[in-house]
A and B are shown apart, each in its own frame.
Chain A
Amino acid sequence: MNKGISTNARVGIFVVIVLLLLFWITFKISSGTIFGRLQGYTLTAEFDNAQGLNTKTGVFIAGIKVGYVEDIKLEDDKALVTLRIMPGVKIEDNAKAVIRTKGLLGEKYIEIVPGKQQAAALKPGEQIIFTESPPDLEELMNKLNGIASDVKSVTQSLNDVFGGSKGENNIRGMFDNLNRTITHMDRLITSTNKNLNQTFDSVNTFAQALKEQGPDILANLAQISGELHAIIAENKQSVNRTMKNINQASEKLDKTLANLEVITGNLKEGKGAIGKLLSDKKTEQQVTKAISGLSSMVGGTSRFRTIISYRGEYQFAYHNVKSYLDLRLQPTWDKYYLLGIVDDPGGYSSTSTTYTTVKNVNTGTIQQTQTVSNNISNQLKINAEIAKRISYFTFRGGVIESSGGIGVDINAPNDDAQLSVEMFNFNEKPYPELKAMLSISILRYFLLSGGMTDIANRDARTWFMGVGLKFDDQDLKSIFGLAASTTYVNTK
């Protein structure tokens, strides 16, 4: 009928081939089962949230598949998951079952984090007591928004500039310079003012006296001119010194700026920094550091964070709003640098003293009275601080509101509330400015603060209340939608 091969043979060959294929497919798919008969043993685990789990979802130990989810049931408002574990795989009774996310689409799997080796192995049917459910959606979003390559490079260069001991020295030096300069300037300006004021006041007095007491002018002239002379003589010295000081100050300022420029130059270039980083012997170390910083983005403790905050404080005594804009660079959890600008409506207080010389007509004596008036005007101030955290306490110091200052913060365990006390501006008022503040962060982005400032100076102190906003780099990225992919490395 058929040339060569008979119908029987053709059908036979066809059937054999197809059945072999079916056998093969069955065998391949059912690896772990032998023709439907289940192998291995089952364990259970209770999760708060089994969202994304399915039967067939894999169970892994150290990235190796050791089983799969066989069944998911609701029990007492929790998800009771039955796991089928391959024969020969031991799971200790203190092991932990963690629901993790694989890939980008959020495909879930269960990872068994092994317990101590000497612990007893779980017997079939027993329950894995320790479990961890997947993070909630917001956290997941942050994770997804986590690490774009740009962040990585920024982090690397920032780490390079600020993170190393050299970078730290740079910054410390810069702040020192800045601090000194500002203190100098402050002092200089204050003293110069004082002198000039006195000068002009004296001239003023003289002129008044001249006008009022024309007849007696000549009589007093000698005395007056003597005084005037003295004033001028004194001022001459002072002006000379001032000029010198200004010179010095500007020199220092120059140096500071130059330093700053070098740093920002490094920062801006990045390329150089990365190039240096790549050629550096410590590259590996630093990359590891950077990556581990990135990897612990979710609730991690050692990532490099950048926090921007804005705070407005209403001062009840002055009916003013004092504004703070701070940039906080935090290379490790226990250390940060803070740079900020303070807009203080009552920041510039100048004291002018008016000397009035009055000649008592009756007695013929000349009386000199002195009036002191405070002028207050708007001023921009600078914050630049270094902070070190030890357990719940953060100690910081540096430039606070354009003057040297120190502070200490006491943090609530979860960092949501903070009590801080700071002291600065040591040389202007009778007592240094002392500020105590309680701030609470609400809804992650918002700050609420209140306290008293300038406590020590009886007539200057005021209560204040403040509100503010706070973002870290993560938040900014998620807000501006910069994020893309995550290379999520587990540190634990």
Chain B
Amino acid sequence: MTSPLEQKKIKLTGPSMVTANRTWDGVVIYRTAQQGWSANLADAAVVRTSDEARALLAESIADDVGAIGAYIAPVDVKDGGKIAPGNLREHIRSEGLTIDLLPVPA
């Protein structure tokens, strides 16, 4: 994955969303169509043109208090409209680590 932090031009390769980390705790969040954030990918607003993406990113960045490091990332839209992460990086951000950790007692 080329890091999206190096994202300069906005050029969509398919359906996309805006994602960031929540400022106070760092949790992964997604920009919703209601101009808010959700920790659930299912709530993400999906954009399909670069103009839409630019607008969504702009309003996301404008919320400097709520979120940090907003960027555009790909999503897969499945049959029935369910959305899934569009690449491995986003998969890991949304589903968590792909590795076994040492056993930590709860």
Q: Does B bind A?
A: no
* B-binding residues in A (CB < 8 A): none
